């Protein structure tokens, strides 16, 4: 993604995941914004955004962060929300192991509390080690924890696969985590 597209992607993450009120946008309970309203309000807020550009941001997005609705009238973020939304993903059976990249400074607290969503609605898990390292790097010195997802599933925990392979769950108790030195 070029710089302009990255800037718009960050703006969309802000208003579709966290603060729609920042531009006076309304989202429905599924987290969908009306595209016409988004374009109008983004432009009123000083961002020059039009339909073609929005399409390019959605198509070229490295992590498939956003989706258009089937009727092409709506757009929403696929994961990462802090505002309450009903994403309506069907629970599905996860792979035996999933991964979570975090910063080494959080490890002590994670050993005590397990993984919790903190500001977001879900704990976000990666399908592979490499992706998890990149997620962890956003926070500091990265470390990758392994989640015994298959085992959790058998215990009755629910998992949801977002459209881009990011897995979501409510929490991961410490007994289902493997730390690298173990």
CB-CB contact of 145 with 111 (8 Å): no
**DSSP-H helix ranges across the chain:** 3-13, 35-44, 51-60, 107-113, 129-137, 149-154
**Which of 60, 73, 92, 109 contacts ligand HQG by CB under 6 A?**
109
* Least distance (Å) between residue 59 CB and ligand HQG: 16
Q: How many whole angstroms separate alpha carbon 126 and alpha carbon 168?
A: 9
- Cβ proximity to ligand HQG: between 43 and 134 the closer is 134
**Which of 6, 40, 120, 142 contacts ligand HQG by CB under 6 A?**
120
Stretch that binds ligand HQG, among 21-29, 35-43, 83-91, 114-122 (CB under 6 A): 114-122
Print the binding letters for residues 51-70 with ligand HQG: x by CB under 6 A, - otherwise: ------------x-x-----
Contacts for 129 with CB less than 8 Å, ≥ 6 apart: 99, 144
Q: How many whole angstroms separate alpha carbon 93 and alpha carbon 77?
A: 22
Q: How many whole angstroms separate alpha carbon 127 and alpha carbon 122?
A: 16
Binding status of residue 118 toward ligand HQG by CB under 6 A = yes
**Which of 113, 154, 155, 173 contacts ligand HQG by CB under 6 A?**
113
- Cβ proximity to ligand HQG: between 76 and 124 the closer is 124
Residue with tokens 């531009």: 23
Binding status of residue 166 toward ligand HQG by CB under 6 A = yes
Q: Is 95 left (phi over 0), alpha (psi -120 to 50) or beta?
A: beta
Residues in the site for ligand HQG, rule: CB under 6 A? 13, 63, 65, 80, 102-103, 106, 109-110, 113, 115-116, 118-120, 124, 135, 139, 166
């Amino acid at each position: 993604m070029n710089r302009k597209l990255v800037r718009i992607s960050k703006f969309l993450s802000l208003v579709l995941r966290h603060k729609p009120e920042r531009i006076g946008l309304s989202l429905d309970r599924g987290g969908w914004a009306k595209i016409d309203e988004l374009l109008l309000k983004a432009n009123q807020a000083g961002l020059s955004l039009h339909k073609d550009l929005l399409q390019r941001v959605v198509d070229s997005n490295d992590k498939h962060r956003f989706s258009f609705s089937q009727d092409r009238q709506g757009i929403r973020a696929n994961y990462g929300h802090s505002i309450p939304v009903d994403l309506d993903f069907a629970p599905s059976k996860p792979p035996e192991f999933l991964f979570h990249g975090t910063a080494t400074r959080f490890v002590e607290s994670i050993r005590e509390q397990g993984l919790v969503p903190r500001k977001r609605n879900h704990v976000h898990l990666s399908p592979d080690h490499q992706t998890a390292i990149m997620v962890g790097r956003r926070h500091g010195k990265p470390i990758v924890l392994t989640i015994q997802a298959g085992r959790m599933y058998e215990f009755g925990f629910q998992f949801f696969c977002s459209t881009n392979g990011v897995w979501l769950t409510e929490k991961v108790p410490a007994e289902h985590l493997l730390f690298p030195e173990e």
